[in-house]
Amino acid sequence: ATPVAMLAAIGAAARRGLLIKGGRFLEALARAEVLLVDKTGTVTLGRPQVADVIPLDGWREEEVLAFAAAAERDSEHPLAEAVRALARERGVRVPAVETFEALPGIGVRAQIGGHTVTVGRIAPDGADRLQALAARLAAEGKTVVAVRLDGQPIGLLTVQDTLRPEARDALQELQRLGLRRVELLTGDRPEAAAAVARSLGIPFRAGLLPEDKIAAVRAYQTEGRVVVMVGDGVNDAPALAQADVGIAMGSGTDVALEAGHIVLLRDDWRLLPEAVRIARSTMNVIQ
C-alpha cells in the first residue's frame, strides 16, 4: 500500500467512526483469520443490573450490599456500577473504605473498618455450597460473584447484562469476510459464557485471567495466524496489545483505549465488518 492510499483509508475510516492508529493495522486486518472477542462490555452492553442479592449465614441483604458497594466504590468494572446503583436505589448506608485494590479479571479487595472485603469470581475449585448455587445462577446467563468478609463468604450477587443487538449479525458477516475462527474469551464462569456464546452462535473459553487471554492470542500467532482481538476492559488490555490488531470498544476503560490499535468511536459492531472491507479494498488498490 502506498502511504497516500493508507492515509486516505485511515481518513475514510475516521469519518465512519473508526480510529485507526497506523497503516500496518489495516494491512494486518486485511489478512486476519482469527477473531477473539471478550464478553462483558464487548458483546454485551456492559450496563448490567443486579438481579439477585443472596445473603448467607444469617447476614442481611442490606449488609451484603453495603459491603459490596463500598468495596466496588473505585472500580471501573461494569459490574461495580451495577452494585453501586442498587445500593443508591435502596438508600443503603455505604461504609468508608480505607484501601482499595482492583484485581483485573478477578474482582476487588478493600479494607473496611479494619476488615478485608472482597467481591469477585468464585473459583471453580472453591467451597461446594457456593459452587452448586453459583452454577445454577450462572446457567441462567447471569454473572455470579461472591462477597467475602475476611475470607468468609457473606453473600452472592448476580448481575444480568444484555447482548449488543447488532453483535450476532456482525459476527456472522465477519466470518463470511474470512475471519473464520471466532471465539468468545471471558473471565466469567463457563455456564454464563455458554449462554452468551449460544446466543451468538460461536464457541467460547471461560474462566480466563488476563494472562490467559494473552496466551490465547499467542497460541494462534505461533501457528502463523493473524489475530484480531476485541475488548473493553482493564483485563483485556494486555491481549489487545499482543494481538496483531487490538480493537477497543469506545466506551472501554482508558487502558483498553490506549492498548487498542483501532478504537470504535461508537460502540457499534457494524463498524467491524466495515473496517475489514476498508482494509481489504485499500490493500487491493495498492497491489
Residues lying near Mg ion in the complex (CB under 5 A) are found at 38, 40-41, 232-233
Look at residue 268 and give the partner it binds from ligand ADP, Mg ion, none, a contact being a CB closer than 5 to 8 Å depending on partner kind: none
Binding flag, residue 121, ligand ADP (CB under 6 A): yes
From the list Mg ion, ligand ADP, none, partner contacted by residue 141 (C-beta under 5 to 8 A by kind): none
* Pairwise CA distance, residues 79 & 68, whole Å: 11
Distances (CA, A) of 260 to 70, 106, 161, 242, 280: 31, 22, 24, 10, 20
Among 45, 106, 135, 139, binds ligand ADP (CB under 6 A): 106
Total interface residues for ligand ADP by CB under 6 A: 23
User: In the numeric block, which cell numbers belong to residue 59?
Assistant: 447476614
Residue (62 or 76) nearer to Mg ion, CB: 76
Per CB under 6 A, contacts with ligand ADP among 223-242 are 233, 235
Q: Are 217 and 227 in contact (CB under 8 A)?
A: yes
Which of 95, 141, 187, 238 is close enough to bind ligand ADP by CB under 6 A? 187
d(CA 29, CA 271): 13
**Minimum distance, C-beta of residue 2 to ligand ADP, in the bound complex (Å):** 39
As a whole number of angstroms, the distance between CA 232 and CA 240 comes to 9
Please compute Rg for the chain using Cα positions.
20
C-alpha cell at 29: 486486518
Q: Does 249 bind ligand ADP (CB under 6 A)?
A: no
Q: By C-beta, is 192 or 245 nearer to ligand ADP?
A: 192
Q: Which of residues 12-51 bind ligand ADP (CB under 6 A)?
A: 38-41
Q: Is 143 in the site for ligand ADP (CB under 6 A)?
A: yes
Per DSSP, the residues of 46-108 read S--EEEEEEE-TT--HHHHHHHHHHHTTT--SHHHHHHHHHHHHTT--PPP-SEEEEETTTEE
Task: Report H helices in 17-54.
Answer: 23-31
267 binds, among Mg ion, ligand ADP, none (CB under 5 to 8 A by kind): none
Give catalytic status of residue 38 as yes or no. yes
Q: How many Cβ atoms from other residues are within 10 Å of residue 4's Cβ? A: 9
Distance in angstroms (rounded) separating the CA atoms of residues 110 and 106:
13
| Alpha-carbon distances of 66 from 3, 41, 98, 112, 144, rounded to whole Å | 56, 25, 15, 11, 17
Q: Report if residue 97 touches ligand ADP, rule: CB under 6 A.
A: no
Least separation in angstroms between CB 185 and ligand ADP: 7
Nearer to ligand ADP, 43 or 245 (CB): 43
DSSP state at residue 40: I
| Binds ligand ADP (CB under 6 A): choice among 77, 148, 164, 261 | 77
Q: Closer CB to Mg ion, residue 191 or residue 232? A: 232
As measured in angstroms, the least distance from the Cβ of 85 to Mg ion is: 18
Return the active site residues: 38
Residues engaged in binding ligand ADP (CB under 6 A):
38-41, 72, 75, 77, 79-80, 105-108, 119-121, 143, 145, 186-188, 233, 235
